[in-house]
Amino acid sequence: MELQNNKTIAEIRAGLREQIVTVEPVDFEPLALRVFRFQAEYNPVYKEYIRHLGVDPTRITALTEIPFLPIQFFKNHRVATGHSSDAHVVFQSSGTTGQATSHHHLYDEPLYKAISYRIFQHTYGDLNHFHILALLPSYLERNNSSLVYMMQHFIEESESEYSGFYLNNAGEMLHRLHHLAENPDGKGVLLLGVTFALLDLAESSFDLSFLQKIEHFTVMDTGGMKGRRTELLREEVHDMLTASFGVPVIHSEYGMTELLSQGYSQGNGLFNPGHSMRILLRDINDPFAVSDHNLGSSKTGGINVVDLANLDTCSFIETQDLGRFGEKPGTFYVMGRFDNSDIRGCNLMVI
């Protein structure tokens, strides 16, 4: 892509950024195609990947034609568009000992905060209408988690003295929840936690019956056993949590180190992606056969994510998650993950 009307890379980026913050569904695909052409030219790793595939970026006219970068590239390369130096914030995924982890460079903190706030606000309302209690032990044990970074922002925006993080101090957290149950102030209460920590709390000796007294109480599962417990089906986990916490459904968040946008489920595992995010599915046996919701599909496929908030890295990510579309356009279910033996296609990890 030649510089448009002699604009600098920074000027082109600024124009795209302005549109991404306020993008609406009707404008999503045209904007995504402009972001693609920008990244296909100014992201060295993505540009080389596209070249190896033999794809001409100027001939791409639809989201389903765009090459999606395998998520493993974030483990072995610095994926960046128009930036030659490291960012001040570098998110890192969790991993077992000896396992390579992903690194995602954040060059525009205000953009990440604005996007994540807008997505939450659209789904749940203003953050200052909530007390937010984050039970994230495995994430708090390291200082480079994108989830902790986002929740720190949410906690600050909630402007609540009862909002905060909890590592292993479940007793203190329950004390705060008990106070909120006895002294309702009209605000919602959001208990957000990693899966194994929520299960540990549900199976603890603490009396949790008082939680049913809390008005507007939401329990949100962020996923992740991280080797702490035996893997369970989502339905099994949520059945256990609804019984213990006295709520009708368990909410969920879909996000990962390599993405800056989120999707939220308000129950039964059905996710709605944020304004800056769209889900496509690829055929399990052919990673280049991609469909969007408009084409209709009841089959399970690999999840490809278009995340416009990844303006400075790569907005077109081929994940290792399996999913299927919901009945409502744009919605999706997460069905599990590929085993390593199931990953097919040309990853070109030597680029």
Per-residue H/E/C for the chain:
CCCHHHCCHHHHHHHHHHHHHCCCHHHHHHHHHHHHHHHHHHCHHHHHHHHHHCCCHHHCCCHHHCCCEECCHHHHCCCCCCCCCCCCEEEECCCCCCCCCCEEEECCHHHHHHHHHHHHHHHHCCHHHEEEEEECHHHHCCCCCHHHHHHHHHHHHHCCCCCEEECCCHHHHHHHHHHHHHCCCCCEEEEEECHHHHHHHHCCCCCCHHHHHCCCEEEEECCCCCCCCCCCCHHHHHHHHHHHHCCCCCEEEECCCCCCCCEEECCCCEEEECCCEEEEEECCCCCCCEECHHHCCCCCEEEEEEECCCCCCCCEEEEEEEEEECCCCCCEEEEEECCHHHCCCCCCCCC
Chain length of the chain: 351
- Identify the three-state secondary structure at position 319: strand
Cβ neighbour number for residue 53 with a 10 Å cutoff:
11
Residue 225 has what pLDDT? 61
- Phi, psi at 236, each rounded to 5°: -65, -45
How would DSSP label each residue in 273-284?
A: E-TTEEEEEE-S
Reduced DSSP (H G I as helix, E B as strand, rest coil) percent helix, strand, coil of the chain, to 5? 40, 20, 40
* Tokens standing for residue 281: 């599915």
Residue 340 has what pLDDT? 55
Closest CA to 221 of 117, 116, 149, 135: 135
* Tokens standing for residue 103: 């690194």
- The alpha carbons of the chain give a radius of gyration, in whole angstroms, of 21
Residue 152 has what pLDDT? 96
Q: How many Å apart are CA 12 and CA 34, to the nearest integer?
A: 10
Residue 96 has what pLDDT? 55
Alpha carbon distances (Å) from 304 to 165, 199, 288, 309, 333: 31, 29, 11, 15, 13
Alpha carbon distances (Å) from 187 to 6, 165, 311: 51, 18, 34
User: For residue 76, what is the enclosing H or E element?
Assistant: helix 73-76
- Return per-residue pLDDT of the chain as tens, 351 residues: 445 555 799 999 999 999 999 999 999 999 999 999 999 999 999 999 999 999 999 999 999 999 999 999 999 999 999 998 889 899 999 765 457 899 999 999 999 999 999 999 999 999 999 999 999 887 777 779 999 999 999 999 999 999 999 877 788 999 999 999 999 999 999 999 999 999 999 999 999 999 999 989 999 999 876 555 566 778 899 999 999 999 999 999 999 999 999 999 999 999 999 999 999 999 999 999 999 876 555 689 999 999 999 999 999 999 999 999 999 989 999 998 886 533 333 333 333
Adjacent-strand bridge partners of 130: 188
Q: Residues of 164-189 as b/e, b for ≥16 C-beta within 10 angstroms?
A: bbbeeebeebbebbeebbeeeeebbb
Q: What sign does the CA torsion over 231, 236, 237, 240 have?
A: negative
